[in-house]
Every structure is written in structure tokens, then in C-alpha cells.
């Protein structure tokens, strides 16, 4: 059973509009969340993260929102650009435990249409 | 040079063969990881190592083994490859307490 879920395998958005990528998790021990971006033929690259003590974190065009009660987080990209077209992985970790590893979701493929 | 280098980039092998995937990193981090990516399943952890003497199984370690030859080198072996091990394999490294992993470019393995 997947502990980190990304229920939309793909998403298409017009250039300049907002992209919203969603992620749900089941393990209440998760307290640190990350988004990674992956282009074809490359490894994933770290994009943005958020601790469970916050409900929002911004970095330029990228904002991650965390709703702990709903066990849900989302990544907003505003405005979307064609270079944002990639697969986005949501990931989670339980930093307070000794397990200390990251669980990844299945990914959402974002296409930004010029 | 890339921070994390994986070799080979692509490999086709036959069922039952032993194969080794190699990873080296120049970040100077103690922590290294092996993940595999399958469509619809994302990245799943195979093995991880927090230092040269510390190696741990991940969620899908069956059929795999690893060797941490040095701080910078972490290799993954398939002792007897089977077709359902066909996947994209990623090596990664990170500093302690930081989950901003640096990944290699991946090895695409096909077992026929």
C-alpha cells in the first residue's frame, strides 16, 4: 500500500497559468515533505520542501502548501513555463524516527503548453 | 564532472546473469542510496548506507545486494537477474538530516 499518493498521473496547463500538483499521504508520522522534479534521461532534482510545523513555503514561482489534518500537500507553480514540463515526485519522511529515509510518490507528469 | 556518476547508463542482460551497477559521488557525503523507478510506482528504496560500515535494506531489497567500497562508492548487484528487475535505477547521496538528495542520471536496465 502506497504511503505517498499522487492520484493524477498527468496534468496539462497553458503557459502563464497556475499548475497545481496534489499529493496525499497516509502515515501520520511523516513530518517533512519534499518535491522533486525530473526531466527525461536525468535524475530527479530537489525542488522545494516543507516541515510539518509550517503550512506554506515559497521559493520564487513555486509554493508548497501543507494541510496536516487532511494529510494533503500541493505544489503550486505560478506562472507555469514550458521549461516546467517534467515529472514531479512528492516525497515524505519521518525525521523524528530513526528510520530516516524518504518515501516517494508515483509522480505526476506536467505538460505546460506554449 | 557530475556530482553523482552512475555506470553504465544503459544495460541489457540475460535472465540469470549477475550484473553490477556502479555509483560514485564527489559531494563528500556519508549517506548513499539506491532506488528503482517503475511506471506508476515512483521511486522505491532498495538499499541505503549512512557510512561505509552501515548498510541497510530498503523496502524492496530481495534479489539485490550492495557494497560500499568507500565513502564515495556504492555499488548495486543483481545476483541472478530476472525480467521483473527491468527498471530505471538511481543512486543518490545526501548529507545527514537533509533530504535534498543529489541523484545520478540513472541506469536503464533491461533483463531479457
Chain center to CA of B104: 9
Q: Do B99 and A44 touch (CB under 8 A)?
A: no
Asked if pLDDT for residue A17 goes beyond 90, the answer is yes
Could you say which of A36, A43, A95 has the minimum Cβ distance to residue B104? A43
Measured between CA atoms, the residue of chain A closest to residue B91 is: A43
Q: Do A104 and B43 touch (CB under 8 A)?
A: yes
pLDDT tens for each residue of B18-71: 999 999 999 999 999 999 999 888 899 999 999 999 999 998 999 999 999 999
Strand A32-38 and strand A45-51: pairing? antiparallel
Q: Compute the mean pLDDT over every residue in chain B, rounded to the nearest whole number.
A: 93
**DSSP states along B30-70:** SEEEEEEEETTTEEEEEEEEEETTEEEE-TT-TTEEEEEEE
pLDDT at B57: 93
pLDDT tens for each residue of B88-102: 999 999 988 767 899
Question: Cβ distance A101 to A79 under 8 Å?
Answer: no
Amino acid at each position: 500500500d502506497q504511503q505517498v499518493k499522487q492520484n493524477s498521473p498527468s496534468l496539462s496547463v497553458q503557459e502563464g497559468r497556475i499548475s497545481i500538483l496534489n499529493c496525499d499521504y497516509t502515515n501520520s508520522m511523516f513530518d517533512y515533505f519534499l518535491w522533486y522534479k525530473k526531466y527525461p534521461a536525468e535524475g530527479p532534482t530537489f525542488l522545494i520542501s516543507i516541515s510539518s510545523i509550517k503550512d506554506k513555503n515559497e521559493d520564487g514561482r513555486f509554493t508548497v502548501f501543507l494541510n496536516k489534518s487532511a494529510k494533503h500537500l500541493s505544489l503550486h507553480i505560478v506562472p507555469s513555463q514550458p521549461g516546467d514540463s517534467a515529472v514531479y515526485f512528492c516525497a515524505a519522511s519521518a525525521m523524528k524516527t530513526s528510520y530516516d529515509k524518504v518515501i516517494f510518490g508515483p509522480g505526476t507528469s506536467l505538460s505546460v503548453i506554449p | 564532472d557530475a556530482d553523482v556518476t552512475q555506470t553504465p547508463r544503459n544495460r541489457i542482460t540475460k535472465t540469470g546473469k549477475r550484473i553490477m551497477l556502479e555509483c560514485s559521488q564527489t559531494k563528500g557525503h556519508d549517506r548513499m542510496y539506491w532506488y528503482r523507478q517503475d511506471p506508476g510506482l515512483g521511486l522505491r528504496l532498495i538499499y541505503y548506507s549512512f557510512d561505509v560500515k552501515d548498510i541497510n535494506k530498503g523496502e524492496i531489497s530481495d534479489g539485490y545486494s550492495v557494497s560500499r567500497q568507500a565513502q564515495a562508492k556504492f555499488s548495486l548487484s543483481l545476483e541472478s537477474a530476472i525480467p521483473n528487475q527491468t527498471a530505471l535505477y538511481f543512486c543518490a547521496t545526501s548529507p545527514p538530516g537533509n533530504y535534498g538528495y543529489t541523484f545520478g542520471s540513472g541506469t536503464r536496465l533491461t533483463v531479457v
